[in-house]
Amino acid sequence: MRLSVLDQSIAVTGRPEADAIRDTLALAAACEALGYDRFWVSEHHNNATIVGTAPEILVAAIAARTTRMRIGSAGVMLPHYAPLKVAEQFRVLDAIAPGRIDLGIGRAPGSDPRTAFALNPLAQQRPADFPDDVRDLLAWVSGAPLPAGHPFALVRACPGGETAPEVWILGSSDYGAQVAAHFGLPYAYAFFFADGAGAEPALEIYRSRYRASARHPASHAALCVFALAADTSEEAQFEFGSRARFRMLRERGIFKPLEPPTVAAAAPTTPAEAARLAQLRASAFVGTGAQVARQLEALARRLAVEEIAVVTWAYEERVRHKSYTLLAEAMGFAQPAVNR
């Protein structure tokens, strides 16, 4: 199983939002040193918790700070943009870091309807054409011709090069699975969105309908999973309180910067909220490095996926770095630190 990272540039209370962007850059360099396979960044808008709004810029900055691991978006929300512009951005990124760029694309807005309209007012006037946009994007990214008679057949995305970004379809529903299968692309399921609900049928659809492509003759599936490791299970559960508190607030439509675990632990709860908190703790991939590694390996076997991208939220950056370090050591691709 290959292990990667998905980072979302999380804002925390008491610190400027811009710190979250700089934290992402520092984490990327640390994860490359630890031996992680990929490092992906997300796109969200008008969100007080997740402040990474421009993955293409973050990918460029990470490319300048790394030399080995693949880096990319998870993902670019394609309905906001013209496929040609996205292709140009990622062709430039591939020129900066040849053969290391992943272009994960999704159909969700990554925001509320008002913000989506502000990002692209004209999108509401167009028919539902995500598959056509994916088709055009693939052609421009790879340098392949567009279909005969296409109005933009003479347009190419520059710069050209010997390598091309690897395109992924991201999703949390059956729809993305169908699109990925149709175009013969790798598929990443957002397991952490709803604690894995819907993952099995989506992966089944993807594999059963997969149409081989030149670059990907066989299907390739990944999961994006929340996980948090610490020296002890008790410490990990304590730090997880911040994420659990966010989840409970999100379910009430409240979005705010991540709170310290001490604040989360002291927050009053109703009996129903206490039951929900217990449910979140029971289903989370949280514990020591060895415990989390076993959970992830078991999940990969159960769903027969080739790789997992780990999402880790914590109020303090040192906790996140420690979590990724412990997990890398438990998985056997990082050497244990001395006197950590």
Domain boundaries, the chain: 2-234+286-331
User: How confident is the prediction along the chain (340 residues), in pLDDT tens digits per residue?
Assistant: 899 999 999 999 999 999 999 999 999 999 999 999 999 999 999 999 999 999 999 999 999 999 999 999 999 999 999 999 999 999 999 999 999 999 999 998 888 989 999 998 887 666 568 999 999 999 999 999 999 999 999 999 999 999 999 999 999 999 999 999 999 999 999 999 989 999 999 999 999 999 999 999 999 999 999 999 999 999 999 999 999 999 999 999 999 999 999 999 999 989 999 999 999 999 999 999 999 999 999 999 999 999 999 999 999 999 999 999 999 999 998 766 544 4
Give the list of residues 6+ apart from residue 244 with CB closer than 8 angstroms, or none: 264, 277, 280, 281, 284
> How is residue 6 written in tokens?
């998905």
β-strands 187-189, 70-77 pairing: unpaired
The token pair at 43 is 């796109």
Task: Report CA torsion sign: 15, 108, 72, 199.
Answer: positive
Residue 186, SS3? coil
Query: Where is 88: in which H helix or E strand?
Result: helix 83-96
Cα distances (angstroms) measured from residue 92 to each of 60, 121, 293 = 9, 26, 36
Structure tokens at 327: 């997990």
Give the sign of the dihedral formed by CA 13, CA 15, CA 18, CA 21.
Answer: negative
Model-level pTM greater than 0.85? yes
CATH architecture type of domain 2-234+286-331: Alpha-Beta Barrel (3.20)
Query: Rounded CA gap, 50 and 25, in Å?
Result: 15
pLDDT tens per residue, range 265-284 = 999 989 999 999 999 999 99
